[in-house]
Structure 1
């Protein structure tokens, strides 16, 4: 794993946040400091950075403040990946071992992972960013744990691969790597090095989940500003991901339309009322909103605000439940749902999710779980789960069953000299190797809003690629 100081950068639609961490003398990750700024309008849309130039300037400014506060030099950063176009699919592959009289070795698992990536075909224009093992298969027997040391003729595995559109991903990496961070009293600037990028709810999982949670079955649900992102784990493997284009800003927009107020006032109204349990809101409580441009102040009934917030939270919870059912793991998530993101701080959210999910175990994620000392008490807030998880991923394995190179898509050293395996790895420096890129397939327009989202989910149901070797499954 990476050594020295690691900085996680969470680029969200409501905030850009950077956290510095280091491994302490007892093997725990110590959080050094945190710096955050509100995301300026027009920088990020639906989880995707749309203004790279100005976002790079924001990151440059934030990292220089962090460098001064924590008294550190910053070289290595880990950045989150979000957006509606992030996709995840299961894929299966097998290989026949050269020597079945010896036990399975690490190099053979690496070779299997390379074959998985070579044979997997993501959506045209997408790049594979993560390759996670679900379970291995040794002579038709499913092995959820590490198969190293077992005997067998065939070695196979079910893997879950995550991809994202190549162009914006590559542009984001190049933009961040162009940022220079000051060192040695401002006399020298060095470019940042991106250790890796990580899909947002997987970063959250690093911060809020235990291995027992993943084994028993759990859904991590990050309710951010523009999007709600979901990652489902079961039997220690990543099973399903999804991005829903409705989140905290949907509540803000509802308040703007309902009371004809400015977005800034609606956001403050949401934060105030979201922190108050509905049963503590009096029927006659009034909230005064200052007038704008000479208009009189507005008086709003607090209970009406609470009702609007509750209805939108119910809607988001219903879409999350629909995704859990769509994944096929409804009734199998013993550890339930863990909520993260800023919107999970709404006081009523746990009660609403419990009702909508028919009594599933619901909890708000606490990011203290996997870290040691911290210089800032507020780091336990669920809205910082992503950025803390990014730091943790620089020091801790995402899955102990495979080498880290397998997950990030780098070629393990043991496989470098084997043929042309690098053809199956889409890295920022990879080329098409003479192959003509296939044109993207046309998709039926499903329209916007909630009904468009549901139509899109229904039309994609059942399209799961399990490879060409289905006869090996039990």
Structure 2
């Protein structure tokens, strides 16, 4: 990659998009250019790459376009990770310091985080991808800020760990690494490398949230093609994540089934009528859909289209609200709900979420709040929040309270050679798992089936000493 250039790749169910950015002279991230293509059917499903070979070819083609347009070399990339089985749990650990007369050091924070990852038990077959601090605990007193420089005998912390099934995570890595780096005048093909992967709504949070949002309490909701992904923040800490198996494509499928039309026609209907609430549509308004293979044109009542779109949006909003309640932060999210993803462009969505969430502050994310100059205007569209956030994560810290290696799961240099002199480790193991949605329940079971599964998961008895919260 050209010096100081960061490239992010958003691999989604509806599009694959790559964006390049640099840090400008005033400390803002400047977007150089972007390249994208629609995701072909069978490449990506529910946020997970299912066809490695063809997806790799798509990525190779897109990165070649971006390299040529922006006149840059691309050797390393930051990639989003999604999927229904991404899980999050809170885990707590403590260090007992032998010398309380000295202040807490950076190395001790790193040691605490490394030990938390070692003592954490993810779901079998899962790999930890992120470790986020929630708050630190010094001599049994919660400290939401950076504890470095404080005095205390014991140092503890609550951390939120995110894990994902290892097989699709490896598949994503193999897909990227099978793509050749884009280096001008290269004499041999060098594999593309992943700097790090980032859970999609956390990438969104980089592009649309401020530190004030995270402190006051906020939930970022990415309504994509196959899934709706969300992350809850409060008092600067990540508190809860969830992946809901309903999103923009659910609306399209509803229209296909309701009116027996082609998916392409249903998608166009969604884009047109999604901007018009049912009470603004005339009872006698008719939309004509071209006939297929010699069949006559089909006439559809416009109001019925608008009603179907609104009802599915209500269902998605209800599921988001159920997750907010499950997180335990209902009524505490002063900054409200920030919507991202292509479906957030539907005009009626803010009103629907406002009604379902009982008047929470609802807004569509603004991608430009954390970037400076951009070579392209469409980067402002909330459907690009994830890829913009990926670029930003290469320049800006995801959490300023800990070294960034801690969040990515890398072992800091100070811990590779350090001994344990000066502190002991004590694990209290406060964890509780967010159960993945069982595969045997079909997505078509709708809102009540989904809610039933969430209740069953929350009522599952804890095992052994694993108690706590998510």
TM-score by length of structure 2 reads: 0.92
User: Which structure 2 residues correspond to residues 180-259 of structure 1 after superposition, within 5 A?
Assistant: 180-185=180-185, 188-259=188-259
Corresponding position of 1:429: none
Matches within 5 A, 1:348-359: 348-359=348-359
Determine if the alignment matches structure 1 residue 460 to structure 2 residue 457. yes
Residue in 2 that maps onto 1:428 = none
Residues 3, 23 of structure 1: 8 Å contact kept: no
Structure 2: how far apart are the matches of 1:218 and 1:67?
36
3-state SS of 2:372 partner: coil
Aligned mates of 1:53, 1:102 — CA distance in 2: 55
User: Take 1:365 and 1:464, find their aligned partners in 2: how far apart are those partners?
Assistant: 38
1:457 to partner: Cα distance: 1.2
Q: How does 1:16-415 map to 2 (within 5 A)?
A: 16-185=16-185, 188-415=188-415
Q: CA deviation at 1:464?
A: 10
Q: Map Cα deviations across residues 201-229 of structure 1 (whole Å, 9 max, x no partner).
A: 00000000000000000000000010000
Measure, in 2, the Cα distance between the counterparts of 1:374 and 1:139: 47
Distance 1:149 1:165, change over 3 A: same
Deviation at 1:455, TM superposition (A): 2.5
Q: Aligned pair count?
A: 452
Task: Say which is worse superposed, 177-186 or 341-350, in terms of deviation.
Answer: 177-186
Deviations, residues 307-339 of structure 1 (Å, cap 9, x unaligned):
110000001000100000011110000000000
SS at the partner of 1:238? Answer: strand
For residues 78 and 106 of structure 1, what CA distance do their matches in structure 2 show?
26
RMSD: 2.4
Change (3 A) 1:405 1:442: closer
Q: 1:97 to 1:468 in 2, by over 3 A?
A: farther
Measure the CA separation in 2 of the matches of 1:266 and 1:102: 66
Q: Matches of 2:105 and 2:465 in 1, distance apart? A: 24
**Residue 314 of structure 1 aligns to a residue in which SS?**
helix
Give the Å deviation of 1:456.
2.2
Partner Cα separation in structure 1 for residue 460 and residue 399 of structure 2: 26
Offset of residue 411 of structure 1: 0.2
Distance 1:283 1:79, change over 3 A: same
SS of the residue aligned with 1:368? helix
Is the 1:90–1:464 contact (alpha carbons within 8 Å) kept by the matching residues of 2? no
CA distance in 1, matches of 2:346, 2:287: 18
Q: Which stretch has the larger CA shift, 339-348 or 446-455?
A: 446-455
- Give the TM-score of the pair, scaled to structure 1: 0.91
Deviates more, 1:170-179 or 1:112-121: 170-179
Where structure 1 has 5 or more consecutive residues not aligned to the other structure, the ranges are: 421-439
1:182 Cα deviation (Å)?
3.1
Counterparts of 1:310 and 1:58 in 2: how far apart (Å)?
34
Q: Residues 363, 444 of structure 1: CA spacing in aligned structure 2 closer, same or farther, 3 A cutoff?
A: closer
CA–CA distance in structure 2, aligned partners of residues 33 and 272 of structure 1:
29
Is the CA contact (8 Å cut-off) linking 1:93 and 1:468 kept in structure 2? no
Q: Map 1:432-471 to 2 at 5 A.
A: 445-448=440-443, 449-450=445-446, 451-461=448-458
Cα pair distance change 1:464/1:233, threshold 3 Å: farther
- Judge conservation of contact 2:85–2:436 (CA < 8 Å) in 1: no
Aligned to 2:167, what secondary structure does the other structure show? helix
TM-aligned CA distance change 1:469 to 1:83, over 3 Å: closer
Q: What whole-Å deviation, never above 9, does each CA across 1:76-98 have from its counterpart, x for those lacking one? A: 21100000000000000001013
Partner Cα separation in structure 1 for residue 319 and residue 437 of structure 2: 26
**1:91/1:158 contact within 8 Å kept:** yes
1:282 deviation in Å? 2.8
> Residue 191 of structure 1: SS of its match in structure 2?
coil
Q: State the Cα distance separating 1:298 from its structure 2 match.
A: 0.7
CA distance in 1 between counterparts of 2:459 and 2:408 reads 27
Q: CA deviation at 1:444?
A: 9.1
Counterpart-to-counterpart distance in 2, 1:317 and 1:441: 20
C-alpha displacement of 1:265: 0.8
What corresponds to 2:428 in structure 1?
none
Classify the secondary structure of the residue corresponding to 2:369: coil
- Structure 2: which 5+ residue stretches go unaligned? 421-434
Partners of 2:277 and 2:163 in 1: CA distance: 39
